[in-house]
Structure 1
């Protein structure tokens, strides 16, 4: 049984290494995003509800890719500049 688990564990590690996206993927939690954007938790929830900011949920914890947050900031900046 122990040997089979070791084989399974190695197989999972190989699959993870094979399908890992290139480059390092950084994640932020809600508190980090709120601090970076200067918004409340409720505003962040609204962005999620409207599909404006992609996220991933693991159990009850929500995470945001740093790259997605940066793209969101850029798109919001462009909208503000266009409105002026």
Structure 2
């Protein structure tokens, strides 16, 4: 054990070489990080399999969503891809919290009452 501790002497030529190499690598990583431009402006694209896994739907349901234009997609070289941000927007647009469900039920109830009120008039005309 003591022998190994002697081998890790920071003053040794070998350690100085390793430290110098690590500094060079660190400098290069910094340069790349400063000049790096993410592919597709940082947009994440998902495959159909990934979309099905994330939305808990079958491939057939995903196909149906594409056909009905429920979910946007792009096709390139025979591969269908979906923007993660588009999926997020779609989910947010269709999100129903407890208050909005309550309001929707009230609107439906009001609509049903109006329909019931109109029924006799339809038969009387």
Question: TM > 0.5 between the two?
Answer: yes
| Structure with more of its chain in helix, by fraction | 2
Give 1 or 2 for the bigger CA radius of gyration.
2
TM range (shorter): 0.5 to 0.7
| RMSD between aligned residues | 2.6
SS at structure 1 position matched to 2:87: helix
SS at structure 2 position matched to 1:51: coil
2:76 maps to 1:76: no
| Structure with more of its chain in strand, by fraction | 1
Residue 43 of structure 1 is matched in structure 2 by 61
2:46 maps to 1:34: no
Higher RCO (CA 8 Å, separation ≥ 6 residues): 1
Q: What is the CA-CA distance between 1:33 and the residue it aligns to?
A: 0.4
Alignment TM-score, normalising by the size of structure 2: 0.45
Unaligned runs of 5+ in 2: 1-36, 106-125
